[in-house]
Amino acid sequence: MYPLRNILWLLLLPLLLTSACSRPEPITTRFLAFGTLVDLTVSGISQERAEQVTAAIEQDFAEMHHAWHAWDPGPLGRVNRLLKEDKPFSAPPSILVLIKLGKELSTASGHLFNPAIGQLIDSWGFHSDDPAGHRPPPPERIAELLQQNPRMDDIQVDGLTLRGSNPAVKLDFGAFGKGYGIDLAIEHLKELGVENAILNGGGDLRAIGSRGDRPWRIAIRDASGKGVLGSVDVSGDESVFTSGDYERHFIYEGRRYHHIIDPRTGYPATGTASVTVLHHNAVAADAAATALFIAGPEQWYEVAKNMGMRYVLLIDSEGTLHMNPAMQKRLQLLNNEHPIRISPPLDDSPTPGGSHNRP
């Protein structure tokens, strides 16, 4: 009926097909690691290559999961045992690097992020696959652990040798291991020639490159962890990490106890529902999200400055959004339901852990 239009379509078809082929939809593959689902989304490579690359990254995560597990037997368990003995021992390389990073990040956070408080976390029942059914530890146990004051400074590093000077130290890499794992895996992906990818472990991610000619669009979770608050666009190389009280928790006598422990009180941190940070490397973003959660609505700004963060969103337990102006510029909110408090700008100071950005 419309011969001219048909001819035009026939002429256009190869052109449309070529452009569709040159910009295929990103491919997502998925596996389990660190007790969570890991999604690897890649753009600009074939399905076959995506599957090969996923197999390599899955293997990386399996090794890291074993090395850093806080309660299964493995290298971290061995280090924790030897740290109690007050004599030098040689450090497994996979643990040494996290001890050094942990020391730096802990100091920068004013020890709110403190991976030496594993005994406290264990006493709260979070060194188990399912914390449901646990109850708070007796207050005397918490007081005793606070008094022993385990810190990363209680671990001496001399070359490849470690020595513990406080038997209360028990390492728990739960607040930054996944971030460091994502950093290592992103380096591996780059070595494998992948330039455009998102590596997402249970909602925490690092994105490199872009989605064809568009930036990656990343959803930011709301305070319940179930819905979406808004989104940010990310291109180049950036990590987005969230710490929330909805993650691991148990209910005892009608009260909810979550897994982010304030080392000043020995109890789950109060005042914050979730914190999201954007930062170049994932390990610093991961540690900072945990530290700022503990710092809470009144202190997050100072701690963020000390940790070299430039984009922070904190949702307090009343639902108010606290953020710095640069974050406000990037965050596309889905609605205007929440009160917003904007902090002074965060400056551009160097990042603790930044030198480890290229592991």
Residues that bind Mg ion (CB under 5 A): 175, 286, 289-290
The single residue among 42, 45, 121, 312 that binds ligand AMP, judged by CB under 6 A, is 121
CB distance 124 to 248 below 8 Å: no
- Judged by CB under 6 A, the stretch of 172-180, 183-191, 209-217, 277-285 that binds ligand AMP is 172-180
- Contact yes or no for 271/263 (Cβ under 8 A): no
The least CB distance from residue 116 to Mg ion, in Å, is 15
**Least separation, in Å, of the C-beta of 175 and Mg ion?**
4
CB of 14 to Mg ion, least distance (A): 50
Site for ligand AMP in 295-354 (CB under 6 A): none
Residue 50 contact, options ligand AMP, Mg ion, none, Cβ 5-8 Å cut-off depending on partner type: none
- How many angstroms from the chain centroid is the CA of residue 289? 7
- The amino acid occupying position 260 is I
CB of 275 vs ligand AMP, minimal distance in Å: 8
Q: Tell me if 101 contacts ligand AMP by CB under 6 A.
A: no
Q: What CA–CA distance (Å, rounded) separates 60 from 99?
A: 19
Residue 357, helix vs strand vs coil = coil
Q: Is 197 in the site for ligand AMP (CB under 6 A)?
A: no
DSSP string for residues in 126-141 = -SSS--TT--PPPHHH
Nearest to 279 by CA among 324, 234, 328: 234
In the complex, the smallest distance separating the C-beta of residue 326 from Mg ion, rounded to whole angstroms, is: 21
DSSP count for the chain of H helices, then E strands: 9, 17
Amino acid at 43: S
Answer yes or no whether residue 294 interacts with ligand AMP by CB under 6 A.
yes
Q: Does 247 bind ligand AMP (CB under 6 A)?
A: yes
Q: What angle do CA 4, 6, 12 make, to 5 degrees?
A: 105
With contacts defined by CB under 6 A, name the span among 39-47, 134-142, 282-290, 312-320 that binds ligand AMP. 282-290
Phi and psi (nearest 5°) for 148? -75, -20
Nearer to ligand AMP, 27 or 83 (CB): 83
CB of 164 to ligand AMP, least distance (A): 17
Residue 44 backbone dihedrals phi, psi, to 5 degrees:
90, 10
Binding residue (CB under 6 A) for ligand AMP from 110, 125, 164, 174: 174
3-state secondary structure of 80: helix
Chain positions contacting ligand AMP, by CB under 6 A = 113-115, 117, 121, 126, 172, 174-175, 243, 247-248, 259-261, 263, 286, 289-290, 294
